[in-house]
Amino acid sequence: MHSITRDLKKIAGYGRTRPLEVKAVYLAPPLTPPKEHFRSHGILTINGMQGFSPGLMEPFMEMVKAISKG
């Protein structure tokens, strides 16, 4: 889990000309201790541990829409 957040923070060094405006991590089964205790500041956590539902993506999509509107 730490490598995911570290990669999101380092992404500017991977040839991107702009930083990511919205960052999210989707947690999917199986439940593991790192997933159970995952917390991150500045990165949206989408908890899909009970299975996928399109509604889980709404907060992420709203953030993307807000950024695209300027």
pLDDT at 39: 87
- In this predicted model, what pLDDT tens digit does every residue of 26-66 receive, in sequence order? 999 999 999 999 888 888 999 999 999 999 999 999 999 99
- In this predicted model, what pLDDT tens digit does every residue of 13-23 receive, in sequence order? 677 777 788 88
pLDDT at 53: 96
DSSP letter at 54? Answer: G
pLDDT at 12: 63
Are the beta carbons of 20 and 11 closer than 8 angstroms? Answer: yes
pLDDT at 41: 83
Burial class of residue 45 in the structure, from the number of CB atoms within 10 Å of its CB (0-12 exposed, 13-18 middle, 19+ buried): middle
Delimit the domains of the chain by residue range. 2-69
Report which of residues 39 and 6 the model is more confident about: 39
